[in-house]
Structure 1
Amino acid sequence: MPSFDIVSKVDLQEVDNAMNQARKELQGRWDFKGVPVDISMADDKKGLVLKTDGEERLDALWDVLLGKLLKRGLTANSLERGKKEPVGGKQFKQSVQLQQGIPTEKAKELTKLIKDSKLKVQASIQGESLRVTGKDRDELQAAIRLCRESADKLHLDMQFENFRD
């Protein structure tokens, strides 16, 4: 029986490359001259930490980093910005979570969406991924199209793997 898996993964090497590119760009910008800026991977490798000396600069830092991430093939749906927190002095920090795996509530929404579409496929949650099976290859491709169209509405970054006939 043909099937495929819907997963959500972020390539950490591409994130690291985007962070390095953003650091380089910020060194040359006049509005960041002499300003302490730090972009680092969180200790648990599931997010990023941005630090600088003002809320406005934190937004500018985010814009630069997001631009680099988008150019490297990551989508904004795979990132979730946290609150801006004062660290001390004029310093502010913000955490950015990277989406690894499909959360259970989003997987349930996606399963319901597939079932409501009246396609002749079955979707089942398998840990942090979703397996879609069906008898017809065309139905599976229609399910992939449906998922891609609803990715922004669900705020979910999806990849499709293990397509088997």
Structure 2
Amino acid sequence: MAASPSFDIVSKVDRQEVDNAFHQAEKELGTRFDFRGTGTSIAKSGESGVTITSETEERVSAALDVFKEKLVKRNISLKSLEAGEPRQSGKTFKIDCKVLEGIDTEKAKAISKKIRDDGPKGVQAQIQGDQLRVTAKKKDDLQAVIAFLKQEDFGVALQFTNYR
């Protein structure tokens, strides 16, 4: 007998698209008139981090908006971006951002509970590291789960993969 139908719930971002958005934001900050002479810059920090610096709090926030705009144009959900508050560092202001991937344990438990409570009968969700595997006896039940999870907001960008 064939295995029961299943799909995975993941939270991943396309690193190349994030890279492209970063470079576009960097280029726009260098060429836009309202950023000239403000010392505004965007730099990578670590594997998935970005640091935005400027001389004023307003300009650093505006630079963050430019970066967010570029991410949206590249189909990267803003739920995947964790941006801190502007903080003063000497004479400059900084915002540290991090691109998040994976579903943390607390959110995975919340999603699993939601599927158990509100999903069709016979649907099971298992936490597997930073993703969830959802199985059911019928594919229609899986489609119903996908539909109602798209309506919910768990504070993390969800993708549904490996549907079989």
Give the TM-score of the pair, scaled to structure 1: 0.92
Per-residue deviation, 1:41: 2.2
Q: Which amino acid aligns with 1:10?
A: V
Which residue of structure 2 lines up, in the alignment, with residue 82 of structure 1? 84
Structure 2 residue corresponding to 1:134, chosen from 133, 136, 143: 136
In structure 2, distance between residues paired with 1:48 and 1:146: 33
Change (3 A) 1:118 1:160: closer
The gaps in structure 1 that reach 5 residues or longer are none
- Identical pairs, percent: 47
The gaps in structure 2 that reach 5 residues or longer are none
**Contact 2:8–2:160 under 8 Å retained in 1:** yes
Query: What secondary structure, in the 3-state scheme, does the structure 1 residue paired with 2:120 have?
Result: coil
Per-residue deviation, 1:47: 2.2
Instruction: Tell me which stretches of 4 or more aligned residues in structure 1 moved more than 2 Å.
Output: none
Which residue of structure 2 lines up, in the alignment, with residue 114 of structure 1? 115
Query: What RMSD in Å do the two structures reach over aligned CA positions?
Result: 1.2
Query: What secondary structure, in the 3-state scheme, does the structure 2 residue paired with 1:35 have?
Result: coil
Over residues 109-162 of structure 1, what are the superposed CA-to-partner deviations in whole Å (9 max), with x where a residue is unaligned?
101111111413100100000000001001101111111111xx2111011111
Per-residue deviation, 1:10: 1.5
Query: What secondary structure, in the 3-state scheme, does the structure 2 residue paired with 1:62 have?
Result: helix
**Contact 1:46–1:100 under 8 Å retained in 2:** no
Q: Aligned pair count? A: 160
In structure 1, distance between residues paired with 2:78 and 2:132: 21
Give the TM-score of the pair, scaled to structure 2: 0.92
Which residue of structure 2 lines up, in the alignment, with residue 31 of structure 1? 34
